[in-house]
Structure 1
């Protein structure tokens, strides 16, 4: 089958009115990736060599989005919504290129897996003209039933047209199918619209192909894989299923998730073996974690690279461009953005490091901030190897703290500090004996007077 070419036609022209959204339904996201992008990934994993996206509502928005997650996809517009077969034929130009297999998929079924698609393609390789993907829902009510006879699929019967015996069938139509390329256009062109809605239904090609004596079969996908998304409640259910799959995958690959149900992964999260993730951690897009790291509770991480044996959190926020080298430490209530924390460096408490480099083995004290933005432009702070920055210091960029430099606590540093130098950037302390008591008495007297005036 690996030698067979395959076109995936993904139907994404529905308006998705039940989502109650101005955005096309298939652009709503699971794990930070649009629904339709999940479908594209599954098609590619199943060996699709061509991609045709049939769009309608929000066509321009869909085109722009598709360029991001599937730059090689061809888009086709279904101008009028006249049924699923009509939608597939909107991609006639792509179908006519002579692919061996045509996979028909839906942009709102993000959990479909490559194995289910591959099984349908395998049936085509074995000689079938049509392979319909079915599933067994807990309650088949409302679904079209797959009617089989002697191992062949003879019809897809909508529930309203089912006999009482057929209604007892638990094997239902998932909507997706594989069609042999040499038969696809001929079968699609034979689909009529002699029905109550006057629409062209893709399911009709089963009986058309059977009437021609062609081999039509059904394959089975899991219930979860076939789930379609119609509203935001179903979107949340699909998100939960996707996250459960990803958590299990992570744990089976050697990652410890202390409270798996509280961890949120993005679609592209990479996490190495022997990493420990404590409860309530959120991974946004673009996170790569090497082996042996520890991500402590309630941390929020996106667009960050974390090397082996790093320690992050609790309550840390790593934003895009954060790059932690081996054994770096970013502690509680710290934020790092567009900055490199080099090997063994420590950023432990209540600190913001942005547009900066923190050198190897440097120590950044609690409450330190890099003042990197003047309201118009960003500036860089370079902190050298082994430097020590005392608590509650402000480093006003652009500025350099040299190798082994020492910044006294409470300093505002506006000029670069040479290697091994000590810098103070604060006003000299002045102590006035007895003035504390005098000040308290004055404040107390004023408060008493204010209270009496109010009475």
Structure 2
């Protein structure tokens, strides 16, 4: 939260159709760092201390509306119908902000890398301010016409002369002004331009004519990058990952090949952790300092304590909670299971819904049979218990502390502490039956081959 003295509101424009994405998923709901681009914009507005956040949506994307309502409530919705440009989109939020006395910032649901710190300088209670950037390739961006420290105008590329097109200071589209000023200026915007739209950028010239100060503050080009295609989405993801990797390296996280490690927007990793190549963190992962995450592991919604080791080729799903010294090995999946200090599941196991006590050992091929087709049930393995390889623990079931489950067992009843449980058929031996089986099988194969040749 910021320490501003004037109330703040945000208008987030999210009514674009996003046709260039060529995806059934609305553009602003595509993820960067495992989080919808629109949520990144809402996060920034909340971090700025905005008391009201209004998201302008279109009628063509009910999924966007539902997403906003789930997070912010129905009062956060404004509808632009039909779409008649950015100025028209901002005016669609005017009724939702009726009576609001403070500063309004206009941002975008497809600009996922813009942070509160980038936006903060844009607020100016005396007039209107926009965020600009120096473009590597100005292309179709609107150009900022500067008059000393003041912003004289913003000219859209389609309306610009060759001299204006040579300017590299460009408009990000983000702007802020007192609410009453912003909507008064928008009421005077006209659509007599090449596209027949109401340009939000026209308010700059109108503000100057009204004698109100206008200015531009600058942010890095990457921070204000908009996403309009799958290629740009991939570029935004790459930029996001680069920032995350640099931050974790600076915090003392060891990564031999950081470009192969992918983080989510909320990943937490403590200094002293070692992350091997090709690890993916989904949302909700918390890794305490001193853990080791080995190659080709996927961790989401899980906590890994200091001194624990995960992988290689392991998957931690939401609710997995590994205490100090826990070892999760290759091809082990853990979901909604708390594993106490020193517990181990080294190979080829599925642990779903339950708990594993301190220093317990889960053998290779063991599964927690947690789902009966309708409901989930819990499996509890006590401290120091030993579950032999290829065992199936049919929940709900409790394996007592220090108990031993023989390999290959199917356990359907509780096992008391320190007991030994067998849950398998008695082995039967038939002398010479193996050789007889092979001879019969060989004869059948030769007969089938001969018949095929006839």
Interval containing the TM-score (normalised by the shorter chain): over 0.9
CA apart distance, 1:71 = 4.8
1:209-252 CA-partner distances (Å, limit 9, x unpaired): 11122211111111111111111111111111111111211221
* Alignment match of 2:45 (pick from 43, 46, 63): 43
> Cα distance 1:72–1:344, how it changes in 2: closer, same or farther (>3 A)?
farther
> Cα distance 1:71–1:247, how it changes in 2: closer, same or farther (>3 A)?
farther
Are positions 1:307 and 2:317 aligned together?
A: no
Aligned to 2:219: 221
**How many residues align structurally?**
451
CA apart distance, 1:47 = 3.1
Structure 2 counterparts to residues 370-389 of structure 1, below 5 A: 370-389=368-387
Inter-partner Cα distance in structure 2 for 1:450 and 1:24: 58
Inter-partner Cα distance in structure 1 for 2:411 and 2:114: 56
CA apart distance, 1:48 = 2.2
Determine if contact 1:51/1:72 at 8 Å carries over to the other structure: no
Inter-partner Cα distance in structure 1 for 2:313 and 2:73: 37
* Alignment match of 1:120 (pick from 119, 122, 130): 122
Aligned to 2:134: 136
Determine if contact 2:59/2:79 at 8 Å carries over to the other structure: no
* Alignment match of 2:160 (pick from 137, 159, 162): 162
Structure 2 counterparts to residues 401-440 of structure 1, below 5 A: 401-440=399-438
Determine if contact 1:318/1:335 at 8 Å carries over to the other structure: yes
CA apart distance, 1:164 = 2.9
CA apart distance, 1:72 = 8.6
Aligned to 2:192: 194
Instruction: Give ranges in structure 2 of 5+ residues lacking alignment.
Output: none
Given the two structures, how large is their TM-score scaled by the length of structure 1?
0.94
1:108-167 CA-partner distances (Å, limit 9, x unpaired): 11111222211112xx15x4x111111122111222111111221111112233333222
Aligned to 2:450: 452
Given the two structures, how large is their TM-score scaled by the length of structure 2?
0.95
Aligned to 1:353: 351
Aligned to 2:55: 53
Aligned to 2:259: 261
Inter-partner Cα distance in structure 2 for 1:347 and 1:240: 34
Segments ≥4 residues shifted beyond 3 Å: 57-60, 67-73
Aligned to 1:80: 82
Determine if contact 1:339/1:354 at 8 Å carries over to the other structure: yes
Inter-partner Cα distance in structure 1 for 2:72 and 2:239: 24
Instruction: Give ranges in structure 1 of 5+ residues lacking alignment.
Output: none
Inter-partner Cα distance in structure 2 for 1:39 and 1:48: 12
C-alpha RMSD over aligned residues: 1.8
Determine if contact 1:266/1:285 at 8 Å carries over to the other structure: yes
Inter-partner Cα distance in structure 2 for 1:355 and 1:107: 37
1:88-119 CA-partner distances (Å, limit 9, x unpaired): 11111344433332101111111112222111
Aligned to 2:293: 295
Inter-partner Cα distance in structure 1 for 2:339 and 2:229: 43
1:325-347 CA-partner distances (Å, limit 9, x unpaired): 22111111011112111111101
Aligned to 1:392: 390
Aligned to 1:279: 277
> Cα distance 1:380–1:190, how it changes in 2: closer, same or farther (>3 A)?
same
CA apart distance, 1:46 = 2.8
Are positions 1:101 and 2:99 aligned together?
A: no
